[in-house]
Structure 1
Amino acid sequence: MTVTRGEAGNAHFVTRADRGAARARRREVVIGAARDVFVDHGFHGASMEEISIRAQVSKPVLYNHFTGKVDLYSTVLQRYLDRMVGGIRDALRTTTGSENTVRRMVAAYFDFVDEDNGAGYTLVFDTPVPSEPSVEARVRRAMTECAALVGAELDAAGMDPYHARACAFGLVGASHLAARYWFDAGRPIPKIDAVDTTVALFWTGLSGIG
């Protein structure tokens, strides 16, 4: 426990929990600043110095929280990957039937791409970090998890396990590309219309698979 003095000279006891909470808040500020810098400049264009300036912390404090730029980028990236997988999981939790499963999954991808004005989409899919295999592995693992979730739902809806898994990987990849195109094109049509168009394409093919 540490004793400090307030402006009025009153003693204030700083506990280990207080210090831990302050550190956690500082870490969140750093992560938020890093996200903005990575989105604006990409991995290679971002610098730890600019991140420290945006976070209003010194570089020693920054390195006290993260070992380097890759560590910080990976932390920001993982949050968006968790959000992407979580969106798919939440979307599928209450669905019944194959067509509803497809619609909720497609909508979840469009929502992810559209979230935070595309920040997550940019970090996950448009910021290459070629010198760091662990970053690519994180993305691949998250996409595989999304496909596994969709495949399990298609299987439960009556599709045989092999077709369910094969279709799930195709649906995840195609949804990702369709949502990216819609976003990169400047959202030319309402999101619900883009989702409906994508679902119609998928369902025409899926409806013939047993």
Structure 2
Amino acid sequence: MTVLDTDFLGAATPADEIDPTADLGTARTQRRLTALYAARDVFVAHGYHGASMEEISTRAGMSKPVLYTHYASKLDLYLAVLQVYLDRMVDGIRDALAVTASHEQKVRRAVLAYFDFVDEDAGGHTLVFESAVPSEPCVRWRVRNAMGECAVLVSAELRAAGMDGIRAYACAFGLVGASHSAARHWLDAGRPIPKSEAVDVAVALCWNGLSGTTKR
């Protein structure tokens, strides 16, 4: 988690409204956060290739030279925005599993975390799973690494349930992949059924498979 992590649900302070009496560290952090908000909006609206640093700087209320003092390139800024969403996704899984509950309840919470991730900010979901720059190695690596972190968290629970390490990791990747695919389909289909029902379907698929290989 970085100091710039944010829920991206509100609005950052425009650059020209930042308190000039704030200490330099706080003011710089606020300007970087303002740029992230602006970049998020522009990347979601126009995609990576359609976005321009000029539009981002205008939306952030700062000049392009100032923007470049915070982020060296458009890709650098895109990666910063992307990482915030990836951190949120991983933290959602971590929080879902950090409870005292049955294994089946933890599976439900993990699946629900993916549905919440795609449901609560479709723009962030698009940046993570439908990146316009998937051929960029650093983008692929960050997404793959975040999905791997989620699988590691799930596999730890499966090992605790009695599954050996190799099978636990393989099953964890299966659960992670099935969960985010089901959540994406539900969103892309226009939320045809209530989220709770869609989660029930995904949980039934995952749990019916896992329950036969773990100790309940």
Pair 1:164–1:81, CA change in 2 (3 A)? same
Matches within 5 A, 1:7-156: 18-116=23-121, 118-156=122-160
Deviation at 1:197, TM superposition (A): 0.8
Closer/same/farther in 2, CA of residues 15 and 40 from structure 1, 3 Å limit? closer
TM-score normalized by the length of structure 2: 0.86
Which protein has the larger Cα radius of gyration, Structure 1 or Structure 2? Answer: 1
Query: Could you list the per-position Cα deviations for residues 105-142 of structure 1 after superposition, in whole angstroms to 9, with x for gaps in the alignment?
Result: 100000111122x1211110112314521111000000
| Residue aligning to 2:208 | 204
- Corresponding position: 1:179 with 2:183: yes
Deviation at 1:180, TM superposition (A): 0.3
Tell me, in whole angstroms, the C-alpha distance in 2 between the residues paired with 1:133 and 1:22.
Answer: 32
CA distance in 1, matches of 2:185, 2:134: 23
Aligned AA (2:138): S
What is residue 174 of structure 2 aligned with on the other side?
170
- Per the normalisation by structure 1, the TM-score is 0.88
Identity %: 67
Residues 26-67 of structure 1, C-alpha deviations (whole Å, 9 max, x = no match)? 111110000011111111111111101111111001101100
Alpha-carbon distance in 2 for matches of 1:202, 1:24: 42
Question: Aligned partners of 1:134, 1:93: CA distance in 2, in Å?
Answer: 30
| CA RMSD after TM alignment | 1.7
Shift in Å at residue 202 of structure 1?
Answer: 1.4
**Pairwise CA distance, 1:159:** 2.0
Query: What are the ranges of 5 or more consecutive residues in structure 1 without an aligned counterpart?
Result: 1-13
CA distance in 2, matches of 1:203, 1:130: 32
Determine the C-alpha separation between the residues in 1 that align with 2:134 and 2:69. Answer: 26
Of 19-28 and 169-178, more deviation after overlay is shown by 19-28
Distance 1:31 1:66 in 2: 10
Alpha-carbon separation, structure 2, partners of 1:131 and 1:49: 24
The residue that corresponds to 1:5 in the other structure is none
